[in-house]
Amino acid sequence: MKIIITGGAGFIGSHVVRLFVTKYPEYQILNLDALTYAGNLENLRDIENQPNYRFVKGDIADQPFVDELFAREEPDAVIHLAAESHVDRSITDPLAFVRTNVLGTVHLLNAAKNLWKSAGYEGKTFYHVSTDEVYGSLEMGTEMFTEDTPYDPRSPYSASKASSDHFVRAWYHTYGLPVKLSNCSNNYGPNHFPEKLIPLAIHRIRTSQPVPVYGKGENVRDWLFVKDHATAIDTVFHKGKVGDTYNIGGVNEWKNLDLIHLLCDVLDEKTNQPQGTSRKLITFVTDRAGHDLRYAIDSSKIMNELGWKPSVTFEQGLAQTVDWYLQNTEWLERVTSGAYQDYYQQQYAAR
Ligand code: NAD
Ligand code: DAU
């Protein structure tokens, strides 16, 4: 089986690529990524020479490129993660999100349909990776997002992801394309770009800079270890029902301020600082526009129907994450200085 994984140089994509390349040596994995600021091939150094792995640099919003790639490579499956993924950036540049998340997804859907339809769709899969943010914002309390929760996106990012989900389902109903979808909560773990809350806070604490908390820090997110998201994607890809959607989460809700307090305490302990040192860096800043109050996801469908469950507790996952950042300060320095963007040139330009 030949699988195109889009966005494989990003945070979650790199963990999915590594899992598939190492667990399924009989599959050919083609990592398609535009290497935007969020794409970092250094994430995949350890597997880049595996015989069943290849990288292709390209933009999913470039229709002729996508069509030519599908015609040339004839993939059997697509696992689509490429996206503009940061909510704050979507507030300042919404069109970039429409371009990649909506238009790019439609180009991939069309290319897959055009390649597969004549021989029939048997054995083919178009798997779209999405987010819990499409369901909107919850009040504090016990209600959770299920697969039947109506869509109510409220940021340009979540609106673009909701739109892409609708297009994926439209290609299933209209053209019979064999699609699968999953909507996941906030991921954390190694290789997370330090514009997102957890890696940003780790980087800021490590370098004794202010840690910005939006508003009063009362917003709630559900956190899942990225390697557990990768195993969930593996599960849905192989066992999920065509046409179905699976919610994925950690059953692990945290108020932002409580989470930052925990992170400060873990870092104090691991760097032998007196408890309370890092908490002094917390700085309350202007809230995010349209800031969704709470996300909480009910993962019982994937757990009960497909037998997936997270492998680590939050305490274990967070400890592994902090250890990874403390041991990979060079990765963090190259990402924050921009030096990681030279890696493609050094590694691939001559090939
Ligand atoms: P990321 O920003 O770390 O990575 C995105 C990758 O997509 C990068 O490698 C980037 O270079 C690539 N990309 C961007 N535009 C492209 C284009 N036009 N053509 C080709 N490649 C392009 O994102 P992430 O956090 O790893 O998220 C991956 C996917 O999972 C996204 O679809 C996101 O919506 C979804 N998701 C993320 C989370 C999370 O907590 N991070 C949670 C649920 C769902
Ligand atoms: O829920 C899944 C989503 O989680 C994914 O679809 C997105 O791609 C991913 O970026 C993430 O979105 P969030 O907006 O929840 O993540 P972020 O890390 O940007 O913010 C987490 C919370 O922390 C949110 O309530 C905003 C707050 N925050 C964020 C930053 C960057 C701060 O208080 N300070 C900050 O500096």
**Per-residue pLDDT reduced to its tens digit, 180-213:** 999 999 999 999 999 999 999 999 999 999 999 9
Overall average pLDDT of the 13-25 stretch = 98
pLDDT at 341: 86
323 catalytically annotated: no
- Section 24-44 average pLDDT: 98
pLDDT value at 39 more than 60: yes
Characterize the bridge pairing of strands 253-255 and 220-225. Answer: antiparallel
**pLDDT at site 347:** 74
What pLDDT, on a 0 to 100 scale, did the predictor assign at position 134? 98
Q: Is 145 near ligand 2, meaning CB less than 6 Å away?
A: no
Q: What angle do CA 98, 107, 35 make, to 5 degrees?
A: 65
> What percent of the chain lies above the pLDDT cut of 90?
95
Q: Is the pLDDT of residue 10 over 70?
A: yes
Instruction: State whether the beta carbon of 166 lies less than 6 angstroms from ligand 2.
Output: no
Nearest ligand to the CA of 292 is 2
Whether residue 184 has its Cβ less than 6 Å from ligand 1? yes
pLDDT at site 351: 54
108 — pLDDT class (breaks 50, 70, 90) = very high
pLDDT of residue 344: 77
Closest residue CA from atom 33 of ligand 1 = 85
SS3 39: coil
Question: Using a 6 Å cutoff on CB, does residue 124 contact ligand 1?
Answer: no
Pocket of ligand 1, candidates 32, 35, 36: which has the most ligand atoms within 8 Å of its Cβ, to mutate?
36
Q: Note the pLDDT of residue 339.
A: 86
Active site residue 292: no
In 3D, which of 14, 38, 39 has the Cα closest to residue 344? 39
321 close to 190: Cβ distance less than 8 angstroms: yes
116, pLDDT greater than 90: yes
Please state which of the four CATH numbers 3.30.930.10, 3.30.70.1150, 2.60.120.960, 3.40.50.720 is assigned to the domain occupying 2-188+224-248.
3.40.50.720
Same fold, 2-188+224-248 and 197-220+253-293+314-347: no
Mean pLDDT (the chain, rounded): 97
Residue 192 has phi, psi (to 5 degrees) of: -85, 130
* Contact of 13 with 231, CB cutoff 8 Å: no
Residue 91 is predicted with a pLDDT of 97
Binned at pLDDT 50, 70 and 90, residue 349 comes out as low
Residue 248: pLDDT band (50, 70, 90) is very high
CATH architecture of 197-220+253-293+314-347: Alpha-Beta Complex (3.90)
When pLDDT is averaged across residues 50-57 and rounded to a whole number, the result is 98
For 281-338, what is each residue's pLDDT tens digit? 999 999 999 999 999 999 999 999 999 999 999 999 999 999 999 999 999 999 999 8
Task: Based on the residue annotation, tell me whether 132 is a catalytic residue of this protein.
Answer: yes
Give residue-wise pLDDT tens across range 222-244.
Answer: 999 999 999 999 999 999 999 99
Query: Hey, where are the domains in the chain?
Result: 2-188+224-248, 197-220+253-293+314-347
Residue 212: per-residue pLDDT: 97
| Cα 13 from Cα 31, distance rounded (Å) | 9
Residue 84 is predicted with a pLDDT of 98
Give the pLDDT score at 193: 96
Centre of ligand 1 to C-alpha 298, Å, is 23
Under DSSP, is residue 174 helix (H, G, I), strand (E, B) or coil?
A: helix
Span 170-182, average pLDDT = 98
Residue 350 has pLDDT above 60, yes or no: no
Stated pTM of the model = 0.98
Cβ–ligand 2 contact at 86 (below 6 Å) = yes
CA distance 280 to 49: 45
- Give the pLDDT score at 348: 72
